[in-house]
């Protein structure tokens, strides 16, 4: 009988213990907010264990007893050294409730900042700027995180600018509890500044002479880690290498010159590509391509591409030779054979040419010389153009975001022409200016302004092929009109293109959700043969989905200058700039 009673009490005790261990633990903290509250919650052990289903009553009390010390430590980080803390722990059926009321008290201020720099870095403008904008300032509230951030900034700047012997000779944060002020003492010796030494490359698929032209600094120049980042980026962007490692060797420096070791692993020689797309200007599109990334150790490339759409079919080849600065400069020999058919014209085109691309500051300059044969039909008349066309294009683009810029612009200026005296059957000269600008008047809105201006001088316009004439209309021109259906007309009211071009567009876009925006726009323009502008106007609304490769635009545009104001759907994918 006694054993049964004892066994019953044991079961009851175990049941109570199990219920106790499964009781929910709630923690409430009042009196502090912001980062101070976040730090308090991060320090509290009772918070970290409150979801533990195995907590016992003894463990809960032990955690509760540690709270006052933990809160004091957490608040000291933000300069609160005189907090008043009330703690209460209550047990309810199925629940424990821990409450803490905190009066952080006055916040300690920084009485003095003794930041002393010695060594060559003392006169370095970068260190002087950091000294001026040091995170810890006199009379400011004390924040231990600012103190640690300032120390880390000094060490990081020293490493970035080649002060490899830099060290703290004195570092302390003094807290005077009686005067309730803090003093920061940091003595930092930068030591000498190192310079770039020789750059060595591992054996790879291209010659060291070509690799050396990717290096943006000279041996003996003052060391800056940003130059190494630029070198790494340039080698990755060269498309010769799958892996790039750029490593300074300060421990092997001689006469304060740091050798740079570059380890490279080549990409596969052959690259194959395929893609499909759709646009209302072109219809369905398909692209197939092949490239030999390094034909030889001089880094030459060769490739071809087959492109087909509703209006264009072409087979293109190119042979590219890196010149001077291979990051930006190249010489290319290219050919193209294909056909282009629009609502206004039909052409068979063959072209062979050479182009030279170089960087001039923020501008990219392309000099070209192309021989073009074009058999065309337009306005019911046919012709064959044979043109040797020299030309130059200056292009510039800047954006704060390559996918969805809130501020940026692009501009291009092209000059080209031909002369009957130079292997051509027509004479013309042409000037084309195109530009686009993006601005953000509000946090969720953008304004996009686009324009194009073109002028031609031609001896015989009827013999000028469609690819050299100006047309307007389409997704990137005047919306509401089909691709290349705007231009000067003949006596039978058929569009034949024009000598001159003017197009303008104004668009307002508002971002409703993270990846979705709506837009309204107004376009106007035309291609014409004289200066009596007959601007064709279009306006409408659209929706944008901001994809990883650029916005997908779906626009519904009304042709305001057409009788009955018909509408047209436009779909286009690509970056804004």
The whole-angstrom separation of Cα 549 and Cα 211 is 31
The answer on 180 and 50 residing in a single domain is no
Q: What CA–CA distance (Å, rounded) separates 283 from 275?
A: 14
The pLDDT profile of the chain, 577 residues, written as one tens digit per residue, is 434 444 444 433 434 444 444 568 999 999 999 999 999 999 999 999 988 888 888 999 999 999 999 999 999 999 999 999 999 999 998 889 999 999 999 999 999 999 999 999 999 999 999 999 999 999 999 999 999 999 999 999 999 999 999 999 999 999 999 999 999 999 999 999 999 999 999 999 999 999 999 999 999 999 999 999 999 999 999 999 999 999 999 999 999 999 999 999 999 999 999 999 889 999 999 999 999 999 999 999 999 999 999 999 999 999 999 999 999 999 999 999 999 999 899 999 999 999 999 999 999 999 999 999 999 999 888 999 999 999 999 999 999 998 899 999 999 999 999 999 999 999 999 999 999 999 999 999 999 999 999 999 999 999 999 999 999 999 999 999 999 999 999 888 899 999 999 999 999 999 999 999 999 999 999 999 987 778 999 999 999 999 988 899 999 999 999 999 999 999 998 888 8
Q: Is the residue at 274 inside a domain?
A: no
C-alpha span between 335 and 354 (Å, rounded): 9
Q: Determine the Cα angle at 518 with ends 514 and 521, to 5°.
A: 145
Q: Taking a C-beta distance cutoff of 8 angstroms, is the pair 444, 432 a contact? A: no
Instruction: Examine the fold and report which residue of 103, 126, 149 is the final residue of a domain before the chain moves on.
Output: 103
Whether residue 471 lies inside any domain: the answer is yes
Are the beta carbons of 79 and 111 closer than 8 angstroms?
no
- Number of domains observed in the structure of the chain: 4
List the structure tokens of 51.
Answer: 């979801």
Three-class DSSP category at 150: helix
Polymer length of the chain: 577
In a domain, 279, yes or no: no
96: CATH: 3.10.20.310
Query: What strands lie across the sheet with 181-189, from one edge to the other?
Result: 109-118, 181-189, 167-176
| Whether residue 513 sits in one domain with residue 439 | yes
Give the CATH number for residue 545. Answer: 2.40.160.50
User: Does one domain contain both 253 and 129?
Assistant: no
What is the pLDDT, as a whole number, of residue 53? 84
pLDDT of residue 13: 40
Same domain, 63 and 113: no
Shared-domain flag, residues 137 and 214: no
**Does residue 413 sit in the same domain as residue 439?**
yes
The reply to whether 410 and 466 lie within a common domain is: yes
- For the chain, what percentages of helix, strand and coil (3-state, to nearest 5) are there? 20, 50, 30
Do residue 164 and residue 199 come from a single domain?
no
Q: What three-state secondary structure class fits 84?
A: strand
3-state secondary structure 305-365: EEEEECCEEEEEEEEEEECCCCCCCEEEEEEEEEEEECCCEEEEEEEEEEEEEEEECCEEE
Is 497 strand, coil or helix? coil
The pLDDT value recorded for residue 236 is 96
Choose the final residue of a domain: 251, 266, 281.
266
Residue 444 tokens read as: 């969720």
Q: Does residue 244 lie within any of the structural domains?
A: yes
CA-based radius of gyration for the chain: 36
Q: Looking at the domain assignment, is residue 289 inside a domain? A: no
Same structural domain for residues 72 and 141? no
Distance, in Å, from the CA atom of 453 to the CA atom of 501, rounded to the nearest integer, reads 5
| Whether the Cβ atoms of residue 529 and residue 452 lie closer than 8 Å to each other | no
**Same-domain status, 161 and 25:** no
**Listed residues 158, 189, 220: the one ending a domain:** 189
What CA–CA distances, in Å, run from 527 to 163, 435, 461, 535? 62, 17, 14, 9
What is residue 137's three-state secondary structure?
coil
Burial 277-308 (b: 16+ CB within 10 A, else e): eebbbbeebeeeeebebbbeeebbbbbebebb
| Same domain assignment for residues 17 and 119 | no
| pLDDT at residue number 375 | 97
Residue 91 lies in domain: 2-103
As a whole number of angstroms, the distance between CA 5 and CA 14 comes to 14
Give residue for tokens 């905190």. Answer: 102
């Amino acid at each position: 009988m006694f054993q049964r009673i004892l066994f019953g009490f044991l079961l009851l005790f175990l049941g109570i213990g199990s219920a106790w261990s499964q009781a929910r633990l709630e923690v409430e903290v009042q009196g502090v907010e912001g980062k101070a509250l976040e730090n308090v919650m991060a320090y509290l052990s009772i918070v970290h264990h409150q979801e533990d289903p195995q907590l016992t009553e003894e463990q809960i009390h032990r955690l509760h007893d540690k709270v006052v010390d933990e809160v004091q430590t957490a608040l000291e980080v933000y300069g609160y050294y005189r907090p008043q803390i009330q703690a209460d722990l209550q047990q309810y059926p199925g629940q424990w409730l821990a409450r803490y009321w905190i009066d952080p008290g006055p916040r300690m201020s920084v009485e003095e900042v003794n930041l002393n720099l010695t060594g060559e870095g003392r006169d370095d403008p970068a260190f002087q700027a950091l000294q001026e904008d040091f995170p810890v300032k006199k009379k400011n509230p004390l924040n231990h995180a600012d103190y640690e951030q300032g120390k880390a900034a000094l060490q990081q700047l020293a490493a970035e600018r080649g002060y490899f012997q830099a060290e703290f000779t004195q570092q302390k944060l003094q807290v005077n509890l009686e005067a309730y002020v803090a003093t920061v003492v940091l003595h930092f010796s930068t030591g000498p500044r190192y310079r770039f030494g020789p750059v060595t490359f591992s054996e790879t698929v291209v010659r060291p002479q070509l690799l050396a032209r990717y290096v943006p600094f000279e041996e003996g120049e003052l060391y800056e880690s940003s130059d190494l980042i630029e070198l790494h980026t340039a080698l990755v962007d060269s498309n010769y290498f799958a892996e790039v490692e750029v490593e300074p060797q300060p421990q092997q420096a001689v006469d304060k010159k740091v050798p740079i070791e570059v380890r490279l692993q080549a990409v596969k020689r052959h690259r194959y590509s395929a893609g499909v797309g759709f646009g209302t200007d072109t219809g369905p599109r398909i692209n197939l391509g092949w490239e030999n990334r390094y034909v030889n150790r001089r880094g030459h490339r060769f490739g071809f591409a087959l492109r087909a759409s509703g209006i264009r079919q072409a087979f293109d080849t190119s042979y590219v030779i890196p010149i001077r600065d291979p990051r930006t400069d190249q010489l290319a020999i290219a050919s193209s054979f294909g056909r282009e058919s629009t609502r206004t014209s039909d052409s068979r085109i063959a072209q062979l040419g050479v182009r030279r691309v170089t960087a001039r500051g923020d501008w990219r300059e392309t000099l070209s010389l192309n021989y073009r044969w074009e058999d065309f039909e337009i306005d019911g008349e046919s012709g064959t153009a044979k043109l040797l066309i020299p030309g130059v294009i200056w292009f510039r683009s800047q954006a704060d975001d390559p996918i969805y810029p809130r501020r940026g612009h692009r501009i291009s200026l092209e000059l080209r022409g031909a002369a009957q005296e130079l292997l051509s059957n027509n004479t013309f000269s042409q000037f084309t200016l195109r530009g686009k600008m993006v601005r953000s008047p509000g946090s969720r809105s953008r304004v996009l302004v686009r324009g194009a201006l073109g002028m031609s001088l031609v001896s015989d316009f009827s013999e000028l092929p469609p690819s050299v004439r100006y047309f307007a209309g389409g997704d990137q021109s005047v919306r509401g009109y089909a691709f290349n259906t705007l231009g000067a007309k003949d006596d039978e009211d058929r569009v034949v293109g024009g000598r001159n071009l003017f197009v303008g567009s104004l668009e307002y876009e508002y971002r409703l959700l993270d990846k979705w925006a709506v837009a309204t726009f107004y376009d106007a323009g035309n291609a014409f043969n004289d200066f009596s502008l007959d601007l064709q106007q279009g306006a409408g609304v659209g929706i944008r989905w901001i994809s990883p490769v650029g916005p997908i635009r779906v626009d519904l545009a009304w042709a305001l200058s057409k009788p009955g104001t018909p509408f047209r759907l436009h779909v286009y994918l690509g970056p804004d700039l």
